[in-house]
Structure 1
């Protein structure tokens, strides 16, 4: 009897903690190849790992060699990283190359990680934002244009090439051990700046739960766009208090003063667009993903905040 072939899956963004969590969940049942354009990481003798720019010709050699069945694209570069042009090349042009190669070489499953930031933070956002809401962030700040274009590009391929079975995920704030994004950095510090007079509602999802969500999304071929979030939220300043942070009020105007204080607190990596997310609530509706994929987060907010409270980093 012929042994069933294990699926070959390409995972991008392999240097990140989230991608490594996903890899650990899939490695027993799949043959994985890990890629990151920032650095090469060792993930075990059984997982080939490459440091490759998606826009280089050598990237196509991986598709010829491994004949991938699926792609899990977690390699989106945050707005605090690289210059705007290099970020655009990586996020937009690199994703286009990835999707073109996926179509060319017969990939039948693609999961793309986006972000809830594409909705934009404005005073007139609805109380609960579903997947049909317009993406306002590109009109608010140039720092998020590449994130919106990345998702628009994936959406075009979703409808143009239905054989790719593309699922786009828009998670809320991903936090927890190993996460190095801006919000996790903020929760980790002993002191945290807050905008005086503002404490918007926020959502958080533990990295373990997000990795579970990505694996579920890959395993169930339900293409489309899905918010990923728990059904609870908390005021931002209260979240900082629960994390054991000393809150440092700063004025929201003029903008230059806020940036100066952030630098003083050694929080230089904070992108300017996040200031609006510290003003206005952006609460997303994750019920569609929960229903379609049978997803229920296991890590409650109190566990997330306890981790940060017990692992404080002095500023």
Structure 2
């Protein structure tokens, strides 16, 4: 690639393990600028890194200064990390600001990371959920509202400004080294809670494969919404066994009881807003993404589970 025509890409969420994997894959042939809402991270002398609130005026200065060709937006704040209002400001208002600036400064490519949680976990979910399914997450929990709103916002911009070439990706559970989400914390625990009578089917994608998927998505400007998931799944309780976790049985009725027990045990890795995801299966269909972008995960479930079996963190 001609050095004079290296694409310049803004990557958000730079403090996260996934963003850093994406950066490692792109740094040899792209000029990258890294931003995170939470903290500034050092990624090498060749990559400018900033800690900036997207809603502050200084954020626009980056667009003026660097004249980005594309944006990879991985900076979604998880529900456990901030108060609800700060999280809403970061996830929804921050994303709106990012997309407004992308339009204003002529960005030609945007990839937005969403989550399979937007589908919601309900007893009557279809066996395989495709991208056309309604987003029920908002009806189940206030903590998932900002995830659904973030995606609805990205969808509005996707159709209003086709020149942005927005691709929205909804991955299943992302796991592996460095991942700090709820499911990864559970798989790494000595003891993991299970709801009595429930063991829903779950999907897991290794962080390496997810980083590959994001790079593939960025490199092929195909507008739309895509699930990202492997074609295999496993029951939650079986996954815990394969990861070497001892199961901590939590009574599932009456509905208020598991929340009381979990709050008493202070198990932050099993947040109440995700309770339904440990009751009902949310198995997403990733075939459209695999077809469109030529994606095939390289890390099988047995490798994922072996990592957690060999890297236990005491409770």
TM-score (ref. length: structure 1): 0.98
8 A contact 2:186–2:269 mirrored in 1: no
Residue matched to 1:305: 305
Residue matched to 2:102: 102
Cα drift, residue 79 of structure 1 = 1.3
Q: For the residues of structure 2 that align with 1:208 and 1:125, how far apart are their CA atoms?
A: 29
Whether 1:188 aligns to 2:188 is yes
Q: For the residues of structure 2 that align with 1:263 and 1:312, how far apart are their CA atoms?
A: 23
Unaligned runs of 5+ in 1: none
Point out the more displaced range, 271-280 or 117-126. 271-280
Residue matched to 1:142: 142
Point out the more displaced range, 254-263 or 204-213. 254-263
Q: For the residues of structure 1 that align with 2:266 and 2:168, how far apart are their CA atoms?
A: 34
| 1:205 alignment partner, SS class | strand
Q: Given the superposition, is the C-alpha separation of residues 265 and 307 from structure 1 closer, same or farther in structure 2, using an over 3 Å criterion?
A: farther
Residue matched to 2:200: 200
CA-atom RMSD, angstroms?
1.1
Residue matched to 1:78: 78
8 A contact 2:79–2:143 mirrored in 1: yes
Residue matched to 2:284: 284
Cα drift, residue 83 of structure 1 = 1.1
Unaligned runs of 5+ in 2: none
TM-score (ref. length: structure 2): 0.98
Residue matched to 1:271: 271
Give per-residue Cα distances to partners, 1:25-62, cap 9 Å, x unaligned.
00000000000010000000000000000000000000
| 1:273 alignment partner, SS class | helix
Q: For the residues of structure 2 that align with 1:55 and 1:63, how far apart are their CA atoms?
A: 13
8 A contact 2:175–2:207 mirrored in 1: yes
Residue matched to 1:262: 262
Cα drift, residue 266 of structure 1 = 4.3
Residue matched to 1:40: 40
Q: Given the superposition, is the C-alpha separation of residues 269 and 247 from structure 1 closer, same or farther in structure 2, using an over 3 Å criterion?
A: closer
Q: May I ask how many residue pairs the two structures share in their alignment?
A: 314
